[in-house]
Structure 1
Amino acid sequence: MIYLDNAATTPMSDAALQTLLSVSQTTYGNPSSLHSHGRKASQVLRQARQTVATALLTSPNRIILTSGGTEANNLALIGYALANQDKGKHIVTTAIEHHSVLHPLEMLEREHGFEVTYLKPVSSRYTAQQFRDALRPDTILVSAMYANNETGYLLPIADIGQALSQHQAVFHVDAVQTVGKFPIHPEELGIDLLSASGHKFHGPKGVGFLYTNTNRLHRLLLGGNQEDKRRASTENLASIAAMATALEESLAYWESNLNHVQHLRQRLLEKLASVDLFINQEQDNLPYVLNIAFPGQLNEQLLMRLDLTGISISSGSACTAGNIEPSHVLEALYGTQSSLLKESVRISFSKYNTIDDIDTLATTLITLLGE
């Protein structure tokens, strides 16, 4: 079995799994409790938060622990928009965002009267000037993903942050696909809100965080006073600790991991040199993700045939009831009628993939495409 769908989720590292098991077995108290078990749990929670903050070169009070990237995106967008609508009701984002960004923004438009500008790529790319030109006096929020989850395209985050530096709009970045892949320091990049998810960097599912440099957020979860009264709910302590371990481990070896996946990516493309293919958003790309189209080959059929051989990749777009929906990302790039929408697949790598994995995939693809 070969797993090459790491942009969807990654296998847990041994270190993260050991932390998960250890904390589950030995530190089961509620961090809000005043007794010794609670104090011990609170200490573990504080240390995990500090680990995340250290990775981002920020202070622990700027980290809100969440159930994952989706909640972090929702809290950033809905939370900030509703708490700051007295400043304006205009938001700027891109047409290629993850649905956990697009759907909250659609809700703000539909139910709260916000206006959202959806920027489309120009020649398959985005520039900071596009964001600068979209700003208005009533713009309060700009949201752009660090790397696209379907194609791996890296947006010019530092340049966008600089473009917003003299405007009231805060800058939210969905960094789910990039946190743990290389160092990200939001305060150096002009980022005000940053979302991440543990299972994208070899931590457990169901846990993530939101970096924020503002406490003016409308609360989405009501109840207790956890997370400095910003997010109610008893903390998922074992998973939080395991996420912190995974993040620390990933960043400790980020350069060697990056070199490894770059080698795997190049190896695959070399092995497929004789195959007719097209790389989507080839420039400015995160090496961990490769989105390629095989002309004349329906991606749904190719995915199923690969699965039968024990190889897991994906289309990158949404799948409902076994049917692949057209990719809104590729639609933004090529239009709704492009054949690339039905011919593109996503191959996403991790540090655990091997040269043998890549050679087997290439050999299998060549065989299937020749049938």
Structure 2
Amino acid sequence: MSETPLAFMVITLVVLAIFFIVDLFVIGRKPHVPSTKECLQHIAFFIAAAVVFGAVLWFVAGSQPAIEFYSGWLTEYSLSIDNLFVFVIIMSNFSVPRQLQKYVLSVGIAIALVLRGIFILVGVTLITRFTWVFFIFGAFLLYTAYKVVKGEDEEYHENRLVSWLRKALRITDEYDGEHLRVKKNGVSYFTPMLIVFLAIGTTDVMFAFDSIPAIFGLTHDPFIVFTSNVFALLGLQQLYFLLGAMLDKLAYLPIGLSVVLAFIGIKLILEALHSNTLPFINSGQPITSVPEVPTWLSLAVIVLAIGSAALASVIKAKKESKSALQSV
């Protein structure tokens, strides 16, 4: 049960809804390539909003929910940055005009929010009734950590649905603004925008599979889980354009993310053992000797892992740039 006052939750959800509508469907609908200044302003605003929200949450609900929020937000935000690798590949594969990429991202992020909301509701139901699901979540995160560090999560493979649609439908080779359908010589065709939306949407499903188990490893409060995800998605369009040319310079981000995911996976398995309900493990009795990982330690590990990965990436990029200049 959430420790957060109901009135605060209602106000927060209303404000976040306004933020999301303005960010995606007012600013995001304007077909243009945002400048570096515009990107920095939007990203700074939403990061500051998340920090302020955590501070207000600390004031109205206590330190525990606030630390859980900061831990969840940092984890989800880091995962979102890593997911931008795949978005870049999708946009490149389908040759999406740069002026339309902002609109495509708006739709993709809206799909991501809906999917994550569904997964959150399912996750809350599962962990409430079946605590053993943490074993599955934990194992899945350990496997995901392995995939991330191996670089497999950065690859995009066209799925069967998209491949089938390419063959089954009349699809033009050219885009027609934001339109999904166009008529040529009296015959209706779909534009490549339909395939792009499906590629983004189905990829978002996989992102939800990664992110939701991770956040439930840090908090069981559905309000904090949801707000962490929303704050992580806000400003993602601008982050895409700002980092689009720099993603290859974040060389060590996957390593930092794999450490975070592996840590949360182990934390989930320990928690599952501590509240054990499986009859074939200790006769279904909780194993109280298993240590519980405090939330503050989770936050410390997340900050240290992501911060170290980012710093190491910057140092590496500077060294490579310096070497390139010296070799000229």
TM-score with structure 1 length normalisation? 0.27
Bigger relative contact order (CA 8 A; separation at least 6): 2
If each structure's helix is expressed as a fraction of its own residues, which one has the higher value? 2
If each structure's strand is expressed as a fraction of its own residues, which one has the higher value? 1
